[in-house]
Amino acid sequence: MSNTQIPQNYKSLLGLYDTQKAIGLIKTIFQEKLCAALHLKRVTAPLFVLHGSGLNDDLNGVERPVRFDVPCLEEEAEVVHSLAKWKRYALAKYGFRPGQGLVCDMNAIRRDETPDNLHSIYVDQWDWERVVTEKQRTIPFLKDTVRDIVDAVCATADELRWKFPELKKVRLGREVTFITTQELEDMYPTLTPKERENEITRLHGTVCIMQIGGKLASGQVHDGRAPDYDDWTLNCDILFWHKALGCALELSSMGIRVDADALRRQLEEAGCPERAQLPFHQMLLNGQLPLTMGGGIGQSRLCMLLLGKAHVGEVQVSLWDEETRSTCEAAGVTLL
């Protein structure tokens, strides 16, 4: 059964040719602004890592990576879910110093994703990471970085509107509303986490939801987060209200990464202390990796947001079930 729903009377603001042109511009302009704002250098990143290295992002801990054998190495490899851990390893290997960082194009396959208007089994994002000091592992520093990213998004939208006047209907708010998952639960105790996100973003337009992964007062979690990359007390999601779909669009998952103490604590809380023996985790516990912060910013998500698109298939090429294709065709929505 398809999870795709096309809003009534939806019509793409740009035709197919201009959509492709605009996608190229967005990816060029935004990366330049992001690098300038966060002092990042572009690096080349892997599509796959060795199974058992501990470098793959485990997401919520239940998603299966695409795995294949590599006969010449007598090893198995996994297509990355994201580069959350690899980036930290790369910062150490390349000798980046505090205040410096990297960004890379990340392409992934998430086989267990449930496709809908916003989700696909193909994921493309800007994965970034930068070295921080112990004194910068704070909520105020996290908030300042979020504001820098939102400014880069809005500045990209401004440039795009000059080139495509049809996009003047797409308006984003630069002012960010910050709220923790516990404050959100206290505000909307009867709603589900996703309903809470939609309600707060509908009211404020641009929202940063902080402290994701740990248990709330109710005993529930707002959303799953792997225990070995973000510090659950210092992480967040950035959401924008997406007018075309009438819902919150999560553009970025990011945070200040675990130090040794946070890693031990979160592995215990998640019930997987054995992960501490993996090579990446041993490097972190032995002080061989720098303190960092970082995140992923969805490339297709950003294109959807800035172009006012109703389906992610309008800005990326993926696989869709027959019902989704039929639904989109009947609504005049062109899937790439």
Question: Which one from 12, 58, 78, 110 is the annotated catalytic residue?
Answer: 110
- Please indicate whether residue 237 is annotated as part of the active site: yes
Q: In what order do the strands lie in the sheet with 177-180?
A: 40-42, 101-109, 122-131, 292-298, 247-257, 230-242, 206-210, 177-180
Within its chain, how far is the Cα of 199 from the centroid?
Answer: 20
Which tokens sit at 310? Answer: 């109703």
Question: Which one from 12, 31, 57, 136 is the annotated catalytic residue?
Answer: 57
Question: Residues 235, 222: contact at Cβ < 8 Å?
Answer: no
Q: Is the dihedral of CA 70, 75, 79, 82 positive or negative?
A: negative
Query: How much is the CA Rg of the chain, to the nearest whole Å?
Result: 20
Best CA proximity match to 112, nearest among 64, 75, 60? 64
- Please indicate whether residue 250 is annotated as part of the active site: yes
| 325 Ramachandran zone, left/alpha/beta (phi>0; psi -120 to 50) | alpha
Question: Which one from 250, 299, 314, 318 is the annotated catalytic residue?
Answer: 250
Greatest CA separation for the chain: 58
**Strand pairing report for 48-50 and 75-79:** antiparallel
Question: Distance between CA 269 and CA 259 in Å, rounded?
Answer: 15
Question: Residues 230, 248: contact at Cβ < 8 Å?
Answer: no
The C-alpha torsion from 183 through 186 and 188 to 193, rounded to 10°, is 60
- Please indicate whether residue 75 is annotated as part of the active site: no
Question: Which one from 82, 253, 266, 318 is the annotated catalytic residue?
Answer: 253
Question: Which one from 58, 124, 197, 237 is the annotated catalytic residue?
Answer: 237
Terminal CA-to-CA distance of the chain, rounded, Å?
A: 21
Question: Which one from 125, 211, 299, 300 is the annotated catalytic residue?
Answer: 125
Q: How many CB atoms lie within 10 A of CB 215?
A: 13
- Please indicate whether residue 144 is annotated as part of the active site: no
Contacts of 286 (CB under 8 A, 6+ apart): none
Active-site residue list: 57, 110, 125, 237, 250, 253
